[in-house]
Amino acid sequence: MLSRLVPAPLVRLFARPYVAGYSMEAALTSAAELLEAPRLLSTLDLLGEHVTEREQVDANLATYERLIDALGERARFPDRAARPTVSVKPSAFTTGDQRAAFELIRGLAERARAREVGLTIDMEDHPWTDMTIERAVALFHDGFDVGTVLQSRLNRYREDAAAIPAGMRVRLVIGIYREPAEIATTDKREMKARLLEMAATLLDAGAFVEFATHDEAIVERFARELAPRAAERCEVQMLLGVPRGAIQERLLQGAFGVPLPVRLYVPFGIRKADATAYLRRRMDENPRMALDVLRNLARRR
């Protein structure tokens, strides 16, 4: 992978637009600035999954507790509709036992409900798929404002979409994890077609669809063909740092038929190694980013 050729400090230097910073305060500031103009929503995510030490679990949990408390104070985000949601990856809360991770996530869900903060349980690679969907749906049925994420690259995408109940939030993504060929497609066109199919199925079932892609043609098809069915249960999501300002503005203005909210995924780090790992995954997904970094390095030399 090209991303492995780029030294860690340079990964962080040249790809820093994709990460809000290395503190919770940096993430909160970024979210507040996005909301000012042109009123972009956000979901905040602490980088640091697949932990190997209990101390990391404790640090991740403590950071999320402080983050949820800060969002609930309402000084920056008094309007619940504009308040950032919080995204968590289950592997950030365990050194191996999946059930232990979801016990901690339930505690975060209780904290988030008390402070009127939405929580999304993010999706990781396929060993996490079953339990993530099962536990997220269970929390939703228990009255928590909890959503989850489905990946269109997985061949089980129809089964996963069918598991989402009416009213629940679900982020639809292609997915960045490299999965075995027997369980996932590698055809990007197929992945994008599946995104639209999943969105149609979920909207018809009464779910809240968070359509997450940077492919502007697919976003426009979603906005024109599917969102008018239930615009109040739709939003488009993109990543912090990816330049899509023009289409974001058009979505907000309803240029494709109905106005749609736009939410940015805003990651932040506490440990720089976690941010580097995230940025390398982004580079693997988009090799042009890695090439740009290498070109910049060559120019400096």
pLDDT (0 to 100) of residue 295: 56
CATH fold for the domain made of 20-268: TIM Barrel (3.20.20)
DSSP H or E stretch at residue 170: strand 169-173
Closest CA to 52 of 94, 103, 98, 99: 94
pLDDT (0 to 100) of residue 272: 76
- Positive or negative CA dihedral for 277, 279, 282, 284? negative
Give the global pTM.
Answer: 0.91
Q: How far apart are CA 115 and CA 112, in angstroms?
A: 5
pLDDT means per 10 residues, the chain with 301 residues, are 64 76 94 90 94 94 97 89 96 96 98 97 97 98 98 98 98 94 96 98 98 97 97 97 93 97 95 74 63 54 52
Closest CA to 126 of 95, 153, 86: 153
pLDDT (0 to 100) of residue 3: 57
Residue 5 per-residue DSSP state: G
What separation in angstroms does the CA of 62 have from each of 31, 217, 266? 20, 40, 19
